[in-house]
Amino acid sequence: MNRQGRAVAPCSLAVLALALCPVPAAGAESGFLAGQEWVGRYRCAQGTTALTLKIVGAADPSAPLRAIFSFGGQGQPEGAYYVAGDTRKSQGVVELSPTSWIDRPPGYIAVGLSGRVSADGRNFAGRITHPSCGQFALTLNTSEALSETARHALSQPKAERRPPEPVTARAETDPLQAAAEAGDPVAQRKLGERYAFGREVAQEDMQAAKWFRLAAEQGEMEAQYKLAVMYDQGYGAARDPQQALRWFSAAAEQGHTGAQNNLGVLYEHGRGVSQDPKKAAIWYRKAADSGLPAAQYNLGALYEGGRGVAQDRPLALKYYRMAANQGYEAANNKVAAMTAVTATKDSPRRRSGTEPTEAELCQALRDKYRAISENMRQVNEACKSGAARNDPLLAIQCLGQWGATGGTGRATVQVTRCEKVACEKASGQPGYLCDFVAGLDAQGLTLPPSYAGMLRQGDLGKGRFVETGDGWLFIPTNGN
């Protein structure tokens, strides 16, 4: 979500099995320092996955912490994105939330982390903030693998620590650098990603912006989008809404759904351009019709409020449900609020005002995973029809779903075990927060045997349950 409360791409859940399913870490006082690397593993639906958290900004306790969440390898897809946070409100709990992608594998979404640093400052452990994920555990990397400058910085007293100096790639020994300097726009974009990520070179936003700009000026769509994100967020260059508008527009005209959605955000809120909700609706619709859940949510909000379009609450609910069916949590909350049952003397319900029974809770869980399975079936049918040839987002979903199912595209998820533990009234929201134990049978998904067995056995879960006109709606929560 951006500062005005709108969802900003990227962030979509293609299939349950691929969910990486992306607040506030202070700088020095939480034990984080620019140049540090924290290495370890975390657990999500795709199985136990290698994780490196590279700190790229931790100047003082009052400034937000920035880091790169890098994952995968050893046979699993690799990717990376920025996370940021601030621990001043969390009483020692470090919470990092995703901001923007650097390198996104097909079908993955960005997730956050919530945990604590050990008293000796060497371990960071806690929970991945997504309902399909579990724990993470990281250790500060102080091995010889760290650069000399980084190890020197770590050895200094806190007040004297400085980030390591950037290291630039050398064209004579680096084919990618040579191709980029020769003017290849794809190589320029990939070199920009290398600097943005800090892969094989020191992480350096200004270098990343330089190479993204060179590629963007040659019409490279992904570079245009990433350059726009840097201008929009103020990474590698001063924040510049006009430049963000320019490059989001260029990528959006080429069909980049994330750029289309973000361009809608700029028009809706008048950032870098005169406020124009009608144009916002046009761009949101382009991305929403391509299946981007953030855009579906944003378009639903315009219909709900009658901004840029005629007010239409049923249509708003339709778009919210489309986003919710892809795992978009904010849309789940909207669906719950718009469909919650309000008890009146003229329309009494048998159990209105009371928490769900175990049978009702379990039925809501079954309904949720049935909807996920149906969404996967519809995606597979669309993939087989050839529609992905003219739909880049659908093509990404097809690749992700086929990869998760060993090439068949077919999968179902069923609840095999369900036990209610306890419920309490949700504070400030409709419904009840409930703890439960649930086991899942994921047929057709290529999960590691150990993880598939763990799913079937069941694990403790948490979610919000809201009574609607035709039963109960299950909304997953982070469980923190």
CB atoms closer than 10 angstroms to residue 128: 24
pLDDT above 90 as % of the chain: 21
Q: How far is CA 94 from CA 37, 65, 117, 130, 425, in A?
A: 16, 10, 8, 16, 27
Q: For the chain, what are the domain ranges?
A: 16-160, 175-335, 347-476
Identify the weakest region by mean pLDDT among 43-57, 71-85, 165-179, 326-340: 165-179
Using alpha carbons, select from 372, 221, 400, 395 the residue that is nearest to residue 291.
Answer: 395
What is the mean pLDDT of the segment spanning 447-474? 81
For residue 48, pLDDT beyond 70: yes
- For the record, the structure tokens of 101 come out as 């992608």
| Reported confidence tier of residue 22, pLDDT bands at 50, 70, 90 | very low
Q: 101 in helix, strand or coil? A: strand
- For the record, the structure tokens of 323 come out as 């986003």
Residues 54-76: pLDDT tens digits?
887 654 555 678 888 888 876 67
What is the mean pLDDT of the segment spanning 263-284? 93
Spatial contact of 430 and 466, defined as CB atoms under 8 Å apart:
yes
For residue 41, pLDDT beyond 90: no
CA 206 to chain centre: 24
| Reported confidence tier of residue 143, pLDDT bands at 50, 70, 90 | low
Residues 402-431: pLDDT tens digits?
777 877 888 888 888 888 889 999 888 888
What is the mean pLDDT of the segment spanning 211-237? 90
Q: What is the DSSP letter of 354?
A: S
| Reported confidence tier of residue 307, pLDDT bands at 50, 70, 90 | very high
- For the record, the structure tokens of 185 come out as 């726009």
For residue 35, pLDDT beyond 80: no
What is the mean pLDDT of the segment spanning 85-113? 73
Residues 1-21: pLDDT tens digits?
444 445 554 333 232 333 333
Fold exhibited by the domain 16-160: Lipocalin (2.40.128)
Q: How far is CA 264 from CA 63, 67, 234, 348, in A?
A: 29, 27, 19, 42
Residue 199 — φ and ψ, nearest 5°? -90, 115
The β-bridge relationship of strands 65-73 and 94-103 is unpaired
Residues 365-408: pLDDT tens digits?
988 888 888 888 888 888 888 777 766 667 777 877 877 787 78
For residue 155, pLDDT beyond 60: no
Please tell me the chain's helix, strand, coil percentages from 3-state DSSP, rounded to the nearest 5. Answer: 40, 25, 35
What is the mean pLDDT of the segment spanning 457-473? 84
Tell me if 16-160 shares its fold with 175-335.
no
What is the mean pLDDT of the segment spanning 213-236? 90
For residue 264, pLDDT beyond 70: yes
| Reported confidence tier of residue 129, pLDDT bands at 50, 70, 90 | confident
pLDDT of residue 59: 44
For residue 103, pLDDT beyond 70: yes
CATH number 3.40.50.720 given to 175-335 = no
pLDDT averaged over every residue in the chain: 77
pLDDT of residue 131: 62
| Reported confidence tier of residue 161, pLDDT bands at 50, 70, 90 | very low
For residue 276, pLDDT beyond 50: yes
Q: What is the DSSP letter of 201?
A: S
Question: Residue holding tokens 């309904």?
Answer: 367
Q: 37-73 b/e with 16+ CB inside 10 Å = b?
A: bbbbebbbbbbebebbbbbbbbeeeeebbbbbbbbbe
pLDDT, greater one: 149 or 434 = 434
Distance CA 116, CA 120 (A): 11
Residues 311-357: pLDDT tens digits?
999 999 899 888 887 767 778 778 877 876 543 444 444 445 788 98
Handedness of CA 296, 297, 302, 308 (dihedral sign): negative
pLDDT of residue 173: 63
CB-based contacts of 475, cutoff 8 Å, min separation 6: 329, 332, 333, 336, 431, 463, 464, 465, 466
pLDDT of residue 382: 81
Determine if the pTM surpasses 0.75: no
Question: Residue holding tokens 């690397």?
Answer: 37
Q: How far is CA 299 from CA 165, 172, 391, 396, in A?
A: 44, 49, 19, 22
pLDDT of residue 433: 92
For residue 31, pLDDT beyond 70: no
Using alpha carbons, select from 283, 234, 241 the residue that is nearest to residue 258.
Answer: 283
For residue 440, pLDDT beyond 80: yes
pLDDT of residue 16: 31
pLDDT, greater one: 284 or 169 = 284
For residue 152, pLDDT beyond 60: no
Using alpha carbons, select from 344, 403, 342 the residue that is nearest to residue 376.
Answer: 403
Distance CA 392, CA 396 (A): 6
The per-residue DSSP string of 11-67 comes to: -----GGG-----B--SGGGT--TT-EEEEEEEETTEEEEEEEEEEE--STTSPEEE
CB-based contacts of 355, cutoff 8 Å, min separation 6: 423, 424, 425, 432, 434, 465
What is the mean pLDDT of the segment spanning 190-215? 87
Instruction: Tell the burial category of 412 from Cβ atoms under 10 Å away from its Cβ (0-12, 13-18, 19+).
Output: middle
pLDDT of residue 447: 76
pLDDT of residue 296: 92
